[in-house]
Amino acid sequence: MSRSEIKICGVTRPVDARLAEALGADILGMVFCESPRRVNRGMAQEISDSVENVAMAGVFRGTAAMEIAETALACGLDYVQLHEPVTEQYLSELRACSAARIIVAVEPQQLGDEAYLRMLAASGIDSLLLDLPKGCPPGTTLTLKDIDSATASGVPLRIAGGLNAYSAVALLQLSRAIGVDVASGVELSPGIKHPAMLSEFITAVRNAGAGRLPSPGADGRIGPFGGAYVPETLVPALEELSQAFSHFSNDGDFRAELATLLREFAGRRTPLYHAARLSEMQGRPVLLKREDLVHTGAHKLNNCIGQALLARRMGCTQLIAETGAGQHGVAVATTAAMMGMGCRVYMGSEDIRRQGPNLRRMELLGAEVRPVDSGSRTLKDATSEAIRDWVANCNTAHYLIGSAVGPHPYPTMVRDFQAVIGNESLQQCRELTGDLPGTVVASVGGGSNAIGMFAPFIAQRSVRLLGAEAGGHGNASGQHAAALGLGRPGVLHGSLSYLLQDGNGQVEPVHSISAGLDYPGVGPEHSFLHSIGRVEYMSVTDREALEAFHLLCRTEGIIPALESSHALALALRTEGSGPLLVCLSGRGDKDIEHVLATQRSMQEGDHEAA
């Protein structure tokens, strides 16, 4: 990733200009058209005079070429930025009367006008600025398709559109844009730059390395998603957790202890298994990342050990958790027993019915399992009860979230602890095949195994990434859990992300044969990756998952979890070249009785229909 230019736009005060220059900004933008950040020539001259080693740009809309030239000369502008469709004649007039370089802003809907883009490319402008139109609904972002289309014009591209520290780094890593442009993303009020936000943004872009995962800023925003929508009583606890995670993530002793426990207690690294018979059926290598072989039978332990170590160093004595399929609950109970901590696990009574073996395992490990009978009696309701417990006991207890959901810093924390899956897979795939995989597939409920698996591949755009959502009885049935495919942005459990909700914003009931995917929302990082088009999320029905479950049992001698069966089903219907890498997130012992009961029910239903 080459050095990217940073433009701080909407500057209205010399003090902000001087700070942006000191922090390393390349261009400062001043707005001369209608805007809450508008400046006049006198203000602009004062701002320009206050800095020495940074370029100045002026933003114009519907202004005559000669007037722009006069302003550029008076205010020392190196660039003029035009925010309306321009003609070839207008650009010619502007070049004739001003030496300033020209940036032309375009919006995604203009990218289909090939003649316009060809004219801009031939006119000799400095660059395009790809921006979002005003008044976009929540969750709107530029997409990689938009950015690629703009880049294909041949004109150097800068990107804007409500950027923050996370989205700026992510989109730069995934594109050939030469720079970023930010205004509101470093403000609390229009035109007044916030020093900490300005520093955070510039530092994030400057320190971004190729392939290094971006992290959200202090507000927890992952593009437009994420954040921390929590009661005031939890704010200090979250801030303390965020500071501790930031500190210990870079602490050598903490990382060494975590690595030791993952190796000696959890059993890492897990194999990358070449499924020979499935490969023959698919006509391409099928590689299974065997997270089912982690101690406790699923990927959940990776994150539990990391968070529990963190909690213990923060002085917590109790772990609180929610669980759906029971694998996370078992992993938390296992970790608590190993570390000598107390443990309370909330589990929906419907999930208890489906996952009896895991209930008994948690109790054997010393956890107190509290049934939840409210709502749909599944994972969403268990999560709500666990949060209530945490609100009441946050001084002594750590809420150990099992998926990449919840308020900041949980989504990033879970991602980083689960990234061991993808990091190992990347290395093993290269060892086994000498190359990257062609396609990587993982199941997505809240999204922990998927974000961990995808993490090192996100910046590798040659690798196709697929997330399997729970299609239940089918997308048209209303009985599914496909939050990304059929939901819209909203707030659930402390975070803004995609979720299934009715017209009044009420969370809708969901269904999946898999208790671990039976959740109406999804993590905010998955929401961002979906919105920009980096990951394709597709529905897999209960019936398809069952077929994949049986297929793996009979062809490879592996009994997968129903969650993993969704990923396998999606992988097997996917065409492409190169190795097909599937995250086998857990083993299916817990699901056998539920599978048999569901099959009997389906057979009876098919018989009645016939």
Cβ atoms of 378 and 402 within 8 Å: the answer is no
CATH fold label, 5-214: TIM Barrel (3.20.20)
Nearest one of 248, 240, 127 to 177, comparing CA atoms: 127
The whole-model pTM stands at 0.95
**What is the spatial distance between Cα 408 and Cα 242, in angstroms, rounded to a whole number?**
8
pLDDT band at 610, cuts 50/70/90?
very low
Point out the residues that are catalytic.
300, 322, 585
The number of C-alpha atoms within 13 Å of 22 and in the hemisphere containing its C-beta is: 10
Q: Are strands 225-226 and 221-222 parallel, antiparallel or unpaired?
A: antiparallel
% of the chain residues with pLDDT over 90 = 86
The residues spanned by each domain of the chain are 5-214, 232-266+296-410, 272-294+416-609
Is the model's pLDDT at 609 over the cut of 50?
Answer: no
∠450-454-460 over CA atoms, to 5°? 160
**What is the spatial distance between Cα 119 and Cα 223, in angstroms, rounded to a whole number?**
32
Nearest one of 408, 402, 478 to 445, comparing CA atoms: 402
Q: Determine the pLDDT at residue 95.
A: 96
Predicted confidence (pLDDT) per residue in 444-501, tens digit: 999 999 999 999 999 999 999 999 999 999 999 989 999 999 999 999 999 999 999 9
**What is the spatial distance between Cα 608 and Cα 595, in angstroms, rounded to a whole number?**
20
% of the chain residues with pLDDT over 70 = 98
pLDDT band at 378, cuts 50/70/90?
confident
Average pLDDT, integer, range 291-320 = 97
Sheet with 488-492, strands from edge to edge, namely 221-222, 225-226, 495-499, 488-492
Predicted confidence (pLDDT) per residue in 15-33, tens digit: 999 999 999 999 999 999 9
Is the model's pLDDT at 606 over the cut of 90?
Answer: no
Q: Determine the pLDDT at residue 1.
A: 59
* 410/380: higher pLDDT: 410
Which secondary structure element, helix H or strand E, spans residue 572, and what is its range? helix 562-572
Lowest mean pLDDT segment, chosen from 134-143, 341-350, 536-545:
134-143
Predicted confidence (pLDDT) per residue in 415-448, tens digit: 999 999 999 999 999 999 999 999 999 999 999 9
CATH number corresponding to 232-266+296-410: 3.40.50.1100
Q: Determine the pLDDT at residue 541.
A: 97
- Within this chain, domains 5-214 and 272-294+416-609 share the same CATH topology: no
Average pLDDT, integer, range 55-81 = 97
pLDDT band at 324, cuts 50/70/90?
confident
Predicted confidence (pLDDT) per residue in 192-217, tens digit: 999 999 999 999 999 887 667 888 99
CATH 1.10.10.10 fits 272-294+416-609, yes or no: no
Cβ atoms of 307 and 331 within 8 Å: the answer is no
Average pLDDT, integer, range 303-327 = 94
Q: Are strands 5-8 and 179-182 parallel, antiparallel or unpaired?
A: parallel
* 325/259: higher pLDDT: 259
Is the model's pLDDT at 282 over the cut of 90?
Answer: yes
Average pLDDT, integer, range 139-154 = 95
